[in-house]
Structure 1
Amino acid sequence: MDKQPDIFRRPLVDVQGIPVFWSMAEEWSQVESFEARPDDLLIATYPKSGTTWVSEILDLIYNSGDAEKCKRDAIYNRVPFMELIVPGFSNGVEELKVMPSPRLVKTHLPVQLLPSSFWKNNCKMVYVARNAKDVAVSYYYFYQMAKLHPEPGTWQEFLDKFMTGRVAFGSWYDHVKGWWEKKKDYRILYLFYEDMKEDPKREIHKLLKFLERDLPEEVVNKILYHSSFDVMKKNPSANYTTAPKSDMDHSVSPFMRKGISGDWKNQFTVAQYERFEEDYEKKMKSSTVKFRSEI
């Protein structure tokens, strides 16, 4: 029996003012009471900001650059998406419960919705932020292929939703600012997608220092190679091609689409750009976090 109408393309539901998937909202108590462990490493991002990339890098670090070990399973099983709960389909909380430590945990939650056990246990966290215009474009294509999201509508309609925070996981602006503020008080390494594109090796060294791990340079070079966009795009355990087609349709748009910085220039009209920039200035002027829209 085709379950698609039951699960997919349903409207988002608010949890404490943040739009999330209907099934997450229904099972919110499970997410809220998630038990973090002190040696968990949390990978936090707004969607389409380099989550899978940094997850692959960290799994390679945890496995001392052994690329074969990192092909043991799909990335979404190696680094479970904590709050993703879809009946009969996925439950990140349950997957993590049975996972041996040390765990890599993925979240897209804004800082105020993160389960309190992460703060109580003073877990280390890696946050990756990407410039808003590239995120908006990548998210638009992702909405088209990942059917748990509502229909994206036209690019203009989606951009309006993005600018007003009416997309899954809410406002990009609030998300990046919230995590930026939190790093003053907790063990959060805040990375930028653009920096990772510019000099991935430098950013891998930042991660190693943060994790207090030492790896020989040849292992770092191996990690650099296996986490490159071209290698990951061909790797079924990293590129999401193993996800069911009913959930993610790569023929609409591949999960790993371009992996570049500045692709927004191919999508925004001049009018959209000007309106976006004006709105951006207003929303970001109170924050010290600064982004580059190209490198």
Structure 2
Amino acid sequence: MEGIDLSLLKSLSRPELFEFEGISMVQYFTDNWENIQNFKARPDDILIATYPKAGTTWVSYMLELLYFGNTEPERQTSMPIYIRVPFLESLFPGMPSGVELADNLPTTPRLIKTHLPVQLVPKSFWEQNCKVVYVARNAKDNAVSYFHFERMNMGQPDPGDWNTFLQRFMEGKKVFGPWYDHVCGYWEKKQTYSNLHYMFFEDMVEDTGREVGHLCSFLGLSTAIEERERITKSTHFDAMKQNKMTNYSTVPILDFTISPFMRKGKVGDWKNHFTVAQNEQFDEHYKQKMKNTTLQFRTEI
């Protein structure tokens, strides 16, 4: 893969968190800010938006297979997902920027991912009326997954222990800001922007095939049933966890001796992490934060 110097990436030191445009950020997502904001979206671009660790890679791979699974099968075995679906705001040493990767995507449509909250998404996506696929995951499981991700990802600040992390998560002092604002922001946007498809991680776990079907309807794809079944099988968590092109095992800033990038993909794993006291405190805080939205989540299925 040209333009990638993995040794540079390997020597990365953990960044400091700072306030940026009203949310917590690290330099790897702000250093290229002008180019991110000026990004020129095309009408057929598809933006995959999520809070970190809510099912981004999962839905990226679904879309990748829906559009290119048959026409460009060699892409699936030779190019990691993070090259096929560039991470727009990323700028890591030793790698081309997300903007550069997106600009040079040879595919139509271009699949592009972002973790930016809705208010920071480059304006051209809305101006071009691009399709946006948003995936949301319940706060408790999302927090647990994010915790393990920060433990193994040298491109993120040190999470500390679980209790420290959880308090910071509730305060919204995490990269890409508060979970609450993120999921609610896109939910509100959906009420006025019809090209936004809002998905739930829990629904995807419960019935992947059904959700692939919903995606096809939203995208106007008439994918054959057998093909949809094949995609459902390929995007099964265990299959993706074993797949070097989707499990991020080729990224040197991720320390797989601490935790895999794809850990469990379950709903309800939070019960193995939250103490009774943490759970009570979290529920109380959650009620306050989410009292003005119609958005609802399941914490078990």
TM range (shorter): over 0.9
2:34 corresponds to? 29
Structure 2 distance, partners of 1:4, 1:48, is 21
Are residues 1:129 and 2:129 paired? Answer: no
Secondary structure of residue in 2 paired with 1:224: helix
Q: In structure 2, give the amino acid aligned to 1:256.
A: M
Distance 1:151 1:90 in 2: 25
Q: Tell me the equivalent position of 2:246.
A: 238
Q: Does 1:252 align with 2:252?
A: no
TM-score (norm 2): 0.93
Question: How far did residue 4 of structure 1 move?
Answer: 7.6
TM-score, length-scaled by structure 1? 0.95
Q: C-alpha offsets along residues 149-175 of structure 1, whole Å, 9 cap, x if unaligned?
A: 111101000001100110110000000
Report how far residue 89 of structure 1 moved: 3.0
* Aligned with residue 56 of structure 2, among 47, 51, 54: 51
Aligned with residue 267 of structure 2, among 261, 265, 276: 261
State the shift of 1:71 in Å: 2.1
Call closer, same or farther: CA 1:135–1:65 in 2, change over 3 Å.
farther
Distance 1:65 1:228 in 2: 18
CA distance in 2 between partners of 1:65 and 1:262 (Å):
35
Q: Which moved more, 1:21-30 or 1:133-142?
A: 21-30
Could you tell me which runs of 5 or more consecutive residues in structure 2 were left unpaired when the two chains were aligned.
Answer: 1-6
* Residue in structure 2 matching 1:204, options 212, 230, 244: 212
Q: Quick check: 2:8–2:93 contact (8 Å CA) kept in 1?
A: no
Cα distance in 2 for partners of 1:198, 1:166 equals 31
After TM superposition, give the deviation of residue 93 of structure 1 in Å.
0.4
Q: Could you tell me which amino acid in structure 1 is paired with residue 232 of structure 2?
A: L
2: CA distance between counterparts of 1:23 and 1:231?
30
* Structure 2 residue aligned with 1:150: 157
Match of 1:15 in 2: 20
Whole-angstrom distance in 1 between the partners of 2:68 and 2:299: 33
Displacement after TM superposition at 1:26 (Å): 2.7
User: Take 2:157 and 2:61, find their aligned partners in 1: how far apart are those partners?
Assistant: 28
Equivalent residue number for residue 274 of structure 1 = 280
Q: Which runs of 5+ in 1 are unaligned?
A: none
Judging changes above 3 Å, is the alpha-carbon distance between structure 1 residues 261 and 217 closer, same or farther for their aligned structure 2 residues?
same
Q: How does 1:160-171 map to 2 (within 5 A)?
A: 160-171=167-178
Q: Which moved more, 1:23-32 or 1:75-84?
A: 23-32
RMSD between aligned residues? 1.6
Give 1:65 shift. Answer: 5.2
Question: CA 1:13–1:7 in structure 2 vs 1: closer, same or farther (change >3 Å)?
Answer: farther
Count of residue pairs brought into register by the alignment: 292
Deviates more, 1:95-104 or 1:116-125: 95-104
Cα deviation for residue 290 of structure 1 reads 0.3
**Conserved? CA contact 2:28–2:91, under 8 Å:** yes
**TM-superposed deviation, 1:202:** 0.7
Give the distance between the partners of 1:123 and 1:116, measured in 2 at CA.
Answer: 11
Once the two structures are aligned, what percentage of the paired residues are identical?
A: 51
Equivalent pair of 1:8/1:150 in contact (CA under 8 Å): no
Q: Does structure 2 retain, via aligned residues, the 8 Å contact 1:145–1:252?
A: yes
Matched, 1:227 2:225: no
2:30 and 2:89 in contact (8 A); partners too? no
**Deviation of 1:20 (Å):** 1.6
- Does structure 1 retain, via aligned residues, the 8 Å contact 2:80–2:248? yes
**CA 1:242 to 1:6, structure 2 compared with 1: closer, same or farther past 3 Å?**
closer
1:213 to 221, 235, 244: 221
Q: Is 2:193 the counterpart of 1:188?
A: no
